[in-house]
Each structure stands twice: as C-alpha cells, then as structure tokens.
Amino acid sequence: MKLKNKLLTYLFAGAVIAGGIVGCELIEAGAGKGMEAVETSADAVLDRPVIVLDAGHGGADGGCVSVNGIPEKNINLSIMLTSRDMLDLLGYDVRCTRETDVSIHDKGIEGLAKQKKSDMDNRLAVINESGAVLAVSIHQNQFTDPKYSGAQMFFKADSPESSALADVLRERFRIWLQPDNERETKPVGDELFLIHNAKCPAVMAECGFLSNPEEAAKLETPSYQQEVAMVIADSINCYVSRKRQGGETAAENSI
C-alpha cells in the first residue's frame, strides 16, 4: 500500500471511531486487522480539543528559499492546510494563524521589521487566547552545507509537555517518512519568540532542508507535502489520545 494511502487509512479510521479522537495504537491495530466496534462516551465525542497550527512566514516575509527558488512560506502553508483538514476530520477544533499568503500584522504599520513584530505578536495572541491544548508551527530548514536533511523539532525549554510533543513528532516522522533520521529534538528559549511565549505545549516542526537538493525537490511536490501534513496530524492525534488515556506520550509503539 502506498504511504499516502496507508496514512489516510489510519487517519480516516480515527475519524470514524470514537467521534474521531482516539488512541493512535487503536487505529494502527484496527487498520491492519479490521475495525471492531468501540464503546465511547458522549463526552468523548463532544469534547473538541483546540489545536493551533501556524504556517511560518507569509506575505512579504517569504522565509528561506529552496535551491530551486521556491519560498518556504508556500510550502509551510500547503502543509498546514492539509494538516488542518485532517485534524478537523479527526474531531479537533483547529485554529490557524493564517490560511492564505499574508502577514497578519496590524493595519497601518509600515516597515518590514515593525510588520514582522506585529505579525508575531498577533500569532502569539491566536495561540494564547484560544485555549489550545497545543500549538505546532510549521517551517522548513536551511543550512550552508547542502548535505544536511531531515525533519527536526524545536520545543519550548522547561516544558516537559512540549518536549513530549516534540518526541512524538520526531518518532512519527521516523516511522512514516524518514526511518534514517537521527536528528534530536532541541529545546529553545526566547530566540524562537512564538514557541518560547506560548502558554500551551508548543513545537516548531522543521520538516526538512530546502538547502538539500533531494529533499527540496520532494518538499516542493504536493504529494510529499500531503504526506508530511498527514504525519503532523497523526502525531498530534497520538499525543492528545495518549494524554487522555493517561499513558506515556513518547512514541514508543511503532507500526
């Protein structure tokens, strides 16, 4: 079964069982062996955890540029929109900092630096005023040496839940897309304004390196963007469902 179809099987299984928000191990077991009826409470079905997704950059701020001249902002947005749709199907209340190619700075502000500050302040307000259980900011990486590749997660320092969310994202990327990726998750401070100041568990997901020709070529394709988006949605669902079950959030059970 192709990877995207397999991912869709798991995610849509989650949308059908238990009102959408279910343990990812249950989805994994059922997708391979046939789904069995699962009893769930009305509260579990009606409770829609709030998730905030942030597509990095936007508008005049293009982010980094791939070796093929594609701006990061477009890739981030494409991935975020698919993750949004998948999480909505799974029963989450998804809030987005942006859903089009825009900066969300206040009207009347002039100058790129001032617009960027206003944009970041408004993104943070979306996260902190939403009652979100978690936030994921979607970005792409870049480095001077083109040999580096692979997703990497940056989490809010001194936040065990942010670290746990980063661990789940890292492991799901390894399970689904990048089995040889040995990159460690990294704590960050105020150098990442949005992550550092979020009131909920928060992670920046750098999905790959646009400076690596092979990885950039994949990240520029809609099909791979969809696969990355599904991995992010799967990771979020796993994290939330494990928290609800009171179990470990680390992604210890592979497929």
Per-residue pLDDT of 140-180, as tens digits, reads: 999 999 999 999 999 999 999 999 999 999 999 999 999 99
What pLDDT does residue 23 have? 57
What pLDDT does residue 38 have? 40
What pLDDT does residue 250 have? 44
**Is residue 246 very low, low, confident or very high in pLDDT (cuts 50, 70, 90)?**
confident
**What CATH class is the domain 48-245?**
alpha beta
Q: Is the pLDDT of residue 252 over 80?
A: no
Using one digit for the tens of pLDDT, what is the confidence trace for 13-50? 555 444 455 556 555 554 444 444 344 444 444 579 99
Average pLDDT of the residues in 238-252: 73
Q: Is the pLDDT of residue 112 over 60?
A: yes
Using one digit for the tens of pLDDT, what is the confidence trace for 70-104? 999 999 999 999 999 999 999 999 999 999 999 99
Q: HEC profile for the chain?
A: CCHHHHHHHHHHHHHHHHHHCCCHHHHHHHHHHCCCCCCCCHHHHHCCCEEEEEECCECCECCCECCCCCEHHHHHHHHHHHHHHHHHHCCCEEEECCCCCCCCCCCCCCCHHHHHHHHHHHHHHHHHCCCCCEEEEEEEECCCCCCCCCCEEEEECCCHHHHHHHHHHHHHHHHHCCCCCCCCCEEECCCCHHHHHCCCCEEEEEEEECCCHHHHHHHCCHHHHHHHHHHHHHHHHHHHHHHHHCCCCCCCCCC
What pLDDT does residue 40 have? 41
> What global pTM score does this model have?
0.84
What pLDDT does residue 42 have? 40
% the chain with pLDDT above 90: 76
